Structure 1
Amino acid sequence: MTPIKAPKKLIEVALPLDDINVAAAREKSIRHGHPSTLHLWWARRPLAAARAILFAQLVNDPGYQRELGHGVNKKEAEIKREKLFQIIRDLVKWENTNNEEVLNRARAAIWESWRETCHLNRNHPQAAELFDPEKLPAFHDPFAGGGAIPLEAQRLGLESYASDLNPVAVMINKAMIEIPPKFAGQAPVGPLPELNTSGKDSVRPGQAMNEDWSGAKGLAEDVRRYGHWMREEAFKRI
């Protein structure tokens, strides 16, 4: 059996733990836009920690000697490692959750490490099957629970799969990682409702969206419009 050459990963060497801990603790006070508001789930993992750990597991540590005859410059490795640390520091901030510039830097580092690993294993007999430099490995969480880990794997650019025995967990994961990608970038299909009659608010759904339907914004707007319709119908009847 031909051994697989696996460069040491960043998580095996060092992490900016203080920055990750601060961001994870801050998440506890986030209520708007956090998956925890979708459904309460015990042992929910902080998104910041899940994102940081996944990234650190996917990128190669710069200080690892790749091949014989190719020594490592420790000072250069420290500089490169600090750049990866900075990506993590930016990645774990709540305000950067959907920051494409930050996410693209993280995805680029993941791709670079994956292609390096593919190159190291180019002579493996199953290289074509296992080490395709144009396709990242898929991710599977067999006990996904609240879905934080597969959600963050998907955000980092991996094809993400989740499963669980609990039907509530399955429903949560469908809502977070299965349904939104199917409608990514699509405009809402529901009609824009009239201003409400209940007097609860003066802004109708979609009014402040500026027709930017990137990502899951169109799907989210449809949910708002349907919720608006349900509230209006309930107000008429009650």
Structure 2
Amino acid sequence: MPKECKRLAEVDFPIAVVSKHSAREKSIRHGHPSTLHLWWARRPLAAGRAMLMALLLPDPGDAKCPEEFRAKARELLLKMPGWNTPRMNQQVKSEKGLRKALLTFIGDFANWDNSSNKDYLATARALVKAAHPEETPLVVDPFAGGGSIPLEALRLGCEAFASDLNPVACLILKVMLEDIPRHGPELAEELRRVGKEIKEKAKKELAEFYPPDPDGATPIAYLWARTVRCESPNCGAEIPLMRSFWLCKKPNRKRALRYKVVREPSPPGRGQGEGNYHPTTIP
């Protein structure tokens, strides 16, 4: 691709569609790389994938865009399932129509559901190859953080170089860009096996700190708080200094503790917690 040729991102970009897919991606957990390890400034994969592709492809409407790329792009887009229609055939004949079709493809490819679709993957990689027939593009990200940009570069068939000053980011990058692609499903199986061993070992070592409740349930956590004793001569209850008694605020699963003073002859009083569904009953 000639250096003088404008990239597609310099002319237009499907920002509304990509923004919608990026916002939806935040709620996706199963199988998403963001669950590998917390990174505070992680960029959406949808935005990285779309912008990288728009930067790697030339603008078909530019006078210096190779005619070979235009012809190959038309061929590849019309091979997409559902794209070979009379309307699309007519649209891609013009340079502006081909640009619009490429932007539509990039917007659709930003969808997480299409990120591993074999048709979208093959077409995206073939388009990048058509734009750079001489050599495979190298994408460099010197401050890669959570690794969204280099990961999407690999997805598009490019070579990627990533680094960061933070050692946690470097570990995330190494695992995501080197270890997982190199070992594949075998690494996942080994991780499950080792995780199971660690879980069983930890369960034995910590069992004495989590004795079963009278109903047989095993506690999973404790609420720790400093306490003060009421100085009233007729009370003497121990009051925990807690900012909130909420356990869960989900609409369909609200749980809270209600502090109840139980008066006894001796000692004068004590406090105990009990489960409660309604936050209004918290004293």
Q: Say yes or no: TM over 0.5.
A: yes
Is the contact between residue 5 and residue 65 of structure 2 (CA under 8 Å) also seen in structure 1? no
CA apart distance, 1:58: 0.1
| Structure 2 match to 1:94 | 112
Give yes or no for the alignment of 1:234 onto 2:202.
yes
In structure 1, stretches of 5+ residues that fail to align are 116-132, 184-215
Work out whether residues 59 and 65 of structure 2, in 8 Å CA contact, stay in contact via their aligned partners in 1: no
Aligned to 1:107: 125
**Residue 222 (structure 1) shift:** 2.1
Unaligned runs of 5+ in 2: 71-91, 208-283
Letter in 2 for 1:142: P
Residue 85 of structure 2 is matched in structure 1 by none
Match of 2:23 in 1: 25
- Can you list the C-alpha shifts for 1:117-160, whole angstroms capped at 9, x where unaligned? xxxxxxxxxxxxxxxx1x21222111111111111111111111
Q: How does 1:167-182 map to 2 (within 5 A)?
A: 167-182=167-182
Displacement of 1:75? 6.4
- Note closer, same or farther for the CA distance 1:75–1:100 as it changes in structure 2 (3 Å cut): closer
Aligned length in residues: 184
Higher relative contact order (CA 8 A, sep 6+): 1
Is structure 2 residue 14 aligned with structure 1 residue 16? yes
Residues 160/67 of structure 1: CA separation in 2 closer, same or farther (3 Å cut) = closer
Q: TM-score, normalised by structure 2?
A: 0.59
Deviations 1:157-188 (A, max 9, x none): 111111111111100101111212222xxxxx
- How far did residue 5 of structure 1 move? 3.6
Contact 2:8 2:59 in 1 (8 A): yes
- Distance across 2 between alignment mates of 1:137 and 1:23: 26
**1:9 positional shift:** 0.8
Residue identity over aligned pairs, in percent, reads 50
Corresponding residue of 2:58: 60
Q: Which is strand-richer, 1 or 2?
A: 2
After superposition, give the CA deviation of every residue in 1:44-72 in whole Å (9 maximum; x if it has no partner).
1110000000000000111011279xxx9
SS in 2 for 1:15: coil
Rg: which structure is higher?
2
> Among residues 41, 45, 48, which one is paired with 1:47 in the alignment?
45
